[in-house]
Amino acid sequence: MKEKDKKILKEKPMRFDVIHHHNDSGNSSSDHRKTLAPPNYISYKGPLKGGRHEPYPLTPDEIDDHVSLLAEIGQSEDPDAFIGHEKFEMGYDTVWESIKYKSLETQTLINFYKGYFLCQPIFKWLGGSIAFHQHIFVYITENLPASEFSEEDREELWNWALLKMRDKVYRNPWSPSNQSKYGGCRNYQDKLAQDQKAQLNLKHDEIRHQAALERKALKQELNRLKQERKRVNEEAYNIHIELFKQKPQQEKINLIKKNQLPFPINLLPEDEIEAFIAHSLPGARHHMTKAEKKYFYKAIPKKTNKTLKQLKAKLGFELSQEKNSGLLH
């Protein structure tokens, strides 16, 4: 700004109306108050380029004056024309919580957002994903009724914010709506395309999630059926074992030798195994032939109980001996 314009600004402060009329946020009721912008306790000395300052208490009137000033900055989009006082602080939680921005008239609210956005990096107010101006932007673009903020208005504000955030001064991958997915967007149409892409990805994620839930449910059902089948089999085997015990000894020996048991051989009771060994091995009355030994040896599984393992080892040894004996003769 030229020196002549700065002089006019100091001598004739601009007037700005702060109009509150939105009440959906629970903020103050409608009121209309004229304030002077800039506030009379601010002397302009040019843009502040230094670090942050300690917070200082602000009265409600002072906060309204600051809001008025930021709205003027947003309207002119020229923060250098206003900023200069070292105590101009709007970036602290205590100040922010006192700002009734949701009650501002729509155009004032938009200008206030722009002013806050432009001043944030100069005064080093909180930035990144916790920049306060992002709350204002989301409220404007997602909560204002269409009668006050049309789709054309939305596109215009998005284009403004996306253009500004690409500037090195205002660059913030989380702006303007605290969502980093818009960091690569150059305009509102890019934003809509990104939303569509995100919606498709969300739909695909939902489909994959639903498929995973179905697979999990199917697996659980299969496990349940498996356990149920195991229980039914165990009950059936117990009945067959009891019936087997009641058969004559010779019949039991034949069923074991031919592996024709109505239950897994692993479930054969220990006393039945011992009785089988006593009656079927060499020297016994019903000893097994070589062919029966081979068949029975193969019928005994590798993973079985200790007694059957010992029997299998013994049969294997005998078969080996008989084979070697045959070769010698």
Per DSSP, the residues of 177-218 read: TT-GGGTT--SHHHHHHHHHHHHHHHHHHHHHHHHHHHHHHH
Percent of the chain having pLDDT more than 90?
A: 26
Q: What CA–CA distance (Å, rounded) separates 83 from 49?
A: 10
Q: What CA–CA distance (Å, rounded) separates 52 from 247?
A: 97
Whether the full predicted model's pTM is greater than 0.75, yes or no, is: no
Q: What CA–CA distance (Å, rounded) separates 117 from 35?
A: 21
pLDDT at 59: 78
Instruction: Give the model confidence (pLDDT) of 184-234 as tens digits.
Output: 788 889 888 888 888 888 889 999 999 999 999 999 999 999 999 999 999
pLDDT at 213: 94
Per DSSP, the residues of 83-94 read: ---TT----SHH
- Give the pLDDT mean for 66-89: 76
Q: What CA–CA distance (Å, rounded) separates 135 from 132?
A: 6
Burial of 175 (0-12, 13-18, 19+ CB in 10 A): buried
- Tokens matching residue 96: 């922010």
- Tokens matching residue 56: 């200082």
Instruction: Give the model confidence (pLDDT) of 292-305 as tens digits.
Output: 888 888 888 888 88
Q: How confident is the model at residue 57 (pLDDT cuts 50, 70, 90)?
A: low
- Tokens matching residue 61: 């009137």
More confident residue, 172 or 192: 192
